[in-house]
Amino acid sequence: MLDYKVLPAGDTALVVELGEHIDRRISAQVVALARRLGASRLDGLVEVVPTFRSLMVHYDPLLLPPAALITRIEALMQDLQIAEDAGRAWCLPACYDARVAPDLEDVATRTGLSRAQVIERHSGVNYHVYMLGFLPGQAYMGDLPAELALARRETPRLKIPAGSLAIAATMTCIFPLETPCGWHLIGRSPVPLWNNDPAAGALLAPGDKVTFAPVSLREYESLLAKAAEGALKIMPGDGPIGAAA
């Protein structure tokens, strides 16, 4: 059985900790437990929220006593089946043109790479979605190539555009909304990661895999216009769009 700890988080939530560091194996365990617990349809289970190395479990104590929830978690952990490739595969267009990538030149200088090499390294990875957070639909994706691992900017920006593609430490993100940001902006994606329709919600989910397909600025603007009209449809398993097709 896997090692884990169950910790209280107030009187309506528990945290199931499955490790002490960030890696894909621990993430796969978190996602597997989230799916099994969610599928159990326990009365009083409100929500499960996967994070980098733990699962937050929200519950209604009037319907589901914490002791009963812990017993259920223990039973699920006994034979938890881990599948590191259980998520969906996405290929998202990304524009690395200087006009939408204000930090690309600085990233190249600081890493000793050319701009083209930064783009090649960044777009050559099959990223793993560890968790959603900070903004609706924002996916924290790893693992960034070691050559591109940089600390956050010393001076955060007060505002960046929605769709900004950024890197910091071992992670990369598309910021789905306009927001303050201290990450390095190396591109932009036209793909909406959040839909206000409750039935749709977030495009990506923990456990998914994401690759980026470079597109030109012209193609990015065309795809962005389609997205604004609600006509940009990207599905799991679709191949590259635009220049990379």
- 231 belongs to a structural domain: yes
- Provide the domain limits for residue 19: 5-78
Identify the CATH number of the domain in which residue 64 sits.
Answer: 3.30.1360.40
Q: Give the integer Cα–Cα distance in Å for 182 and 159.
A: 10
Using CA atoms, how far residue 160 sits from 32, 154, 177, 232, 237, in Å, is: 34, 16, 8, 22, 30
- 120 belongs to a structural domain: yes
pTM of the entire structure? 0.92
- 123 belongs to a structural domain: yes
Largest Cα–Cα separation, the chain? 59
Residues 157 and 238 in one domain: yes
Strands (E), 124-220: 127-132, 139-142, 157-160, 164-168, 171-175, 179-181, 184-188, 194-195, 201-202, 209-215
In order along its 245 residues, the chain shows pLDDT tens digits of 678 999 999 999 999 999 999 999 999 999 999 999 999 889 999 999 999 999 999 999 999 999 999 999 999 999 888 876 778 999 999 999 999 999 999 999 999 999 999 999 999 999 999 999 999 999 999 999 999 999 999 999 999 999 999 999 999 999 999 999 999 999 999 999 998 776 678 999 999 999 999 999 999 999 999 999 989 989 898 777 765 43
Contact criterion met (CB below 8 Å) for 37 and 59:
no
Identify the CATH number of the domain in which residue 145 sits.
Answer: 2.40.100.10
Residues 48 and 95 in one domain: no
Q: Of 222, 219, 226, 119, give the one whose Cα is nearest residue 172.
A: 119
- 84 belongs to a structural domain: no
Using CA atoms, how far residue 186 sits from 152, 199, 233, in Å, is: 13, 32, 24
Take residue 92 and report the two structure tokens written for it: 């998202």
Residues 136 and 234 in one domain: yes
Q: 């910091």: which residue's tokens? A: 168
Q: Give the integer Cα–Cα distance in Å for 82 and 26.
A: 10
Take residue 157 and report the two structure tokens written for it: 């920006």
Residues 52 and 114 in one domain: no
Structurally, the chain folds into a number of domains equal to 2
